[in-house]
Amino acid sequence: MIGMNAVLGVAVVSLGMVLTPGPNMMYLVSRSITQGRRAGAISLAGVAVGFVVYLTAANLGLSMVFLAVPQLYLAVKLAGAGYLAWLAWKALKPGGTSAFTHQELAPDSPWRLFSMGALTNLLNPKVAIMYISLIPQFIDPTAGHALAQGFVLGGVQISISLGVNLAIVMAAGTIAVFLARRPSWLRVQRYVMGTVLGALAVKLATDRAPAAAA
């Protein structure tokens, strides 16, 4: 049985990453602001498909490798921590741009919205690194089948990501107007998320590997 610590760990990392502006958020927000909430929701459905594709590929190909090759486990662990540290720097450095800046875009068909949402996610390196180097660190060989754990923990990540992004899609227009009038709030958001991601990077880099991978 998967422990609550693993679920909470994945949840915290997932929340920190989904709240950090990236390609997915930029695309969803831009479509929601310029074409409406329905367009944003259709795009989000495409993003969900991208998550499932990455999760399936990562679990089927890597779930046992990490347990069998400790050196590889350590390498991807450090890569994941390094990527979180890079995200923290991106959030904290001066001159960052907001995902809620209004842009003029031509309307897209529902199919194009869906396909572009999927493509944007599949081409997002943050998603690939998350599944390959972050989620496997929370798999406990003593808690049951590693493959099943990977899918469950990935489901936690997908649920959080879709829930947060759906809320952003629904409120994108209101948020854009609010933040346009209060630029200091953008700085606060960047500093808070950068600090959280930096702390997570340190924790992941210093955590010990599971018993079967040590």
The mean pLDDT of 75-81, rounded to a whole number, is: 69
Structural domain span for residue 195? 4-94+122-209
Asked if residue 39 belongs to a domain, the reply is: yes
pLDDT of residue 210: 46
Question: Domain count of the chain?
Answer: 1
In a domain, 159, yes or no: yes
- Residue 165 CB coordination number (10 Å): 23
Q: How far is CA 45 from CA 4, 41, 55, 78, 156, in A?
A: 28, 6, 15, 32, 17
pLDDT beyond 90 at 159? yes
**CA of residue 100 relative to chain centroid, distance:** 18
pLDDT for 8 beyond 70: yes
pTM metric for this prediction: 0.65
What values do phi and psi take at 9, rounded to 5? Answer: -60, -45
In a domain, 89, yes or no: yes
User: Comparing 17-26, 65-74, 141-150, 194-203, which segment has the lowest mean pLDDT?
Assistant: 65-74
CA angle 109, 40, 113 (to 5 degrees): 30
Per-residue pLDDT tens digits for 108-127: 788 999 998 898 887 765 67
Flag whether pLDDT at 104 surpasses 60: no
Does residue 143 belong to any structural domain of this protein? yes
**In this structure, is residue 115 part of a structural domain?**
no
Reported as a pLDDT band with limits 50, 70 and 90, residue 160 is very high
The verdict on residue 110 lying in a domain is no
pLDDT at 45 over 90: yes
- Note the pLDDT of residue 186: 63
Q: Rounded distance, CA 4 to CA 8, Å?
A: 6
The pLDDT confidence band at residue 46, using thresholds 50, 70 and 90, is: very high
Q: How many CB atoms lie within 10 A of CB 155?
A: 14
Q: Is residue 116 part of a domain?
A: no
**Residue at 164 is within a domain:** yes
| Start-end of H helices in the chain | 4-18, 23-35, 37-62, 65-68, 70-92, 110-122, 125-129, 146-181, 183-206
Q: State residue 174's pLDDT score.
A: 74
Q: Rounded to a whole number, what is the largest CA-CA distance in the chain?
A: 53
> Residue 2 pLDDT more than 90?
no
pLDDT of amino acid 24:
79
